[in-house]
Every structure is written in structure tokens, then in C-alpha cells.
Amino acid sequence: MNAEDGQILPPGSVIGILGGGQLGRMSALAAGRLGYKVHIFSPEKDGPAAQVSWRNTVAAYDDLAALEAFAQSVDVVTFEFENIPAAAAEILARLKPTRPSPRVLHISQERLREKRFLESIGVPVTAFREVTGAADLPAAVDALGTPSILKSASFGYDGKGQVRIEAGMDLQEAWARMGGTIAILEGFIDFDCEISVIVARNPAGEIALYEPARNSHKHHILDTSTVPAGVSVKVAHAAEAIARRIAGEIDLIGLLAVEMFVTKDGRVLVNELAPRPHNSGHWSQDGAVTSQFEQHVRAVCGLGLGNPARHSDTVMTNLIGDEVESWPQLLADPDVKLHLYGKTEARPGRKMGHWNKLTPKS
């Protein structure tokens, strides 16, 4: 069977999701509402997604036999987590429509690959240099100046594996602290703000774009996402054009979050891509006609896309670690919509839930 047979999967079909966290949970809830069944593949037993899903396979992402059995049991495969081994994505794609494709995962798994792809399609990115070892670092720092940011090229998230390089710093020590094997040095952007655009694309090539959200971070973890973002019309159009271009050029089927910096002189530079629902799109659950999770389901099942327009101004705030204990006060505000992930242990830095505060559309 050609794995791309069956472009449209009707309600009742089984969606296989790799990854068992909150993004899988909220995708599964959206899928259930549309009459789909969800089968989660995750190394974690009874995680946030498994708690609300039809079936659950507990196995490692490199357990090829388990992946094969999983693929046989579903009608389409998608992801809530992109850092899975390339061999895993290829096995899945051989057996069932896999959306987004292994190529999209491959590009977004590694910062150098991602930046080179973006450059190749004419999308502006931060200045960068490849750094393969401590010996490369002095020349890269000379080229980009200080401050600059050293990032491990793969498997980094929420600011992990990053070191800010300052003038006169011990570069050997900075390299050791970053802890990666291959790294990227990026010029420091003294940005005006950080925004993200979420784009959905279905197998027919239809595209739906969410308006930019303005993102603020606390201890390198997303704290709030606000819509409207308060950027100029020109910046919003530039950001949306970039997301649309990437979705087309990468041949996206599914959802892609594009994180961007807006510079003080109004330029929009892409920081990174995530080919799945994204924390900065959670506002859409309560503030948009169609949530990013429903859009994800529609795109990977080959349905028409829903209207992504904002109907209410929304501020999304994450609940990190023991912040989750504020749930009674949050529920006391009738204009707050609370989302909790079913995690039992509130470890520091762990995303436990979020809340959306709605106000009338401006």
C-alpha cells in the first residue's frame, strides 16, 4: 500500500500520536470531539495524553517492533514531540500516512539544518556559525561579536543547552557548560519582542494562519502569550508571510509553529520551528473560532481547515511547578478558562497547566 493513500480519514478513524505529554492530551481531546479515536505511543505510562486516549502503547522511541505494531493499528500517524529517531519516523511513514513527514521532522530536529533550510528558501534568520568543537569557538565569536548565544544544535528546548557568551569569557569553559557535541553560535538579537505564528496546512494544500502571539519568558520558559500581539500591521503581515512560505516550501501536512524575533527596526527573523501544536498557540483553545488542536486533527486527517480568527482578546499564562496550586483562585474568575494536564508531581520548571483570560475583542 502506498502510505499516502487515503488523504481523507473520516471520523471513527484512529489517529496515532507519538509523544504522551500535554500537547498529545489536548490533541486527543480535540480528536475525540470530532469522533476520532487516539492511540498514544510514549515511553511514559499513564501520562497526560494516555489518560484521555483510547489506546496507549508504552515503549521507547527506538523500539522498532513496537513502532511497527503501533503503525499497523492506526490510520494516520502524527506527533506531539519531534525529537524521535529518524529510523522511527521512516518505519512509520512506510506503513501509514505520517503527517508531518519524516523530512519535516528531520529539518526541525537540528538547529543548523533548520537555519540552512530557512536561508535556502529566503527566510531571514539570525546570523550564525557552526561550531563543531571548542577550537572553532574563538573564530566564531570574532565573527559574530559579543554578546552572542551558544546553543547545542540538537535536542534543546526551553533554553536548555544554551550559554550567553560575553566579552572576555573563558570560551573553553563556555563550551563545556553548553554540553553539546555540535553547536551553533548565534548573534545576539536585542529584540523588541518575540512572537510566534502557527500555521496549519492540509493534504489539499489549504493553509490556515493564526495571527501572531506575543511571547514572554520567565527563566527561559514561556510565561505568557498574548493576542493581539500589539505589533504593527507591517510586522504581522511579514510574520504571516514567512509562516505561509515555510509551510508551502516544507510541504507541511499538519501544524507548524514558527517562533520569531521582531527587531527594534521592525525586521522579523525566525528563531526556530516546531512541527506540532505549540505552547504559544494555547490561547486559541478559548480565544479563536478553531483551536490549534482541532486544526491539527483536521489537517492530519485531510479535512477542511477551521477558521483560525480570534473572537476574544486572550492572555495565556502557563502554570509552572507549584504555581498550579493557584487553581481555586483562577477558577473564581468567570473569564478565566483553566486547563490542567493531569500531572501528579509539580516539579520545579514542569508545565502543569495554563489559563486563558478572555476579554472582548479589541
CB-CB contact of 219 with 239 (8 Å):
no
The three-state secondary structure class of 135 is helix
CB-CB contact of 211 with 232 (8 Å):
no
Q: For residues 126 and 290, which CB has a smaller minimum distance to ligand AMP in the complex?
A: 126
225 belongs to the binding site for ligand AMP (CB under 6 A):
no
Which of the residues 27 through 86 are near ligand AMP (CB under 6 A)?
none
Site string for ligand AMP, 88-127 (x = CB under 6 A): --------------------------------------x-
Cα–Cα distances in Å, from 304 out to 177, 200, 248?
Answer: 47, 11, 17
- The one segment of 184-192, 240-248, 279-287, 344-352 that binds ligand AMP by CB under 6 A: 184-192
180 belongs to the binding site for ligand AMP (CB under 6 A):
no
Residue type, 61: Y
Q: For residues 58 and 221, which CB has a smaller minimum distance to ligand AMP in the complex?
A: 221
159 belongs to the binding site for ligand AMP (CB under 6 A):
yes
Helix, strand, coil content of the chain in percent (nearest 5): 30, 30, 40
The residue behind cell 493581539 is 228
Cis ω before 100 (30° cut-off from 0): yes
Cell numbers that stand for 344 in this block:
501528579
221 belongs to the binding site for ligand AMP (CB under 6 A):
no
Cell numbers that stand for 75 in this block:
490510520
Instruction: State which of residues 80, 114, 194, 286 lies at the interface with ligand AMP (CB under 6 A).
Output: 194
How many residues bind ligand AMP (CB under 6 A)? The answer is 13
Cα–Cα distances in Å, from 98 out to 16, 24, 64, 142, 198?
Answer: 9, 16, 16, 43, 20
Instruction: State which of residues 52, 66, 189, 207 lies at the interface with ligand AMP (CB under 6 A).
Output: 189
Q: For residues 91 and 231, which CB has a smaller minimum distance to ligand AMP in the complex?
A: 231
Q: For residues 73 and 146, which CB has a smaller minimum distance to ligand AMP in the complex?
A: 146
145 belongs to the binding site for ligand AMP (CB under 6 A):
no
Cα(220)–Cα(126) distance, rounded to whole angstroms?
A: 18
Residues near ligand AMP (CB under 6 A) = 126, 149, 156, 159, 186, 188-189, 194, 217, 220, 259, 271-272
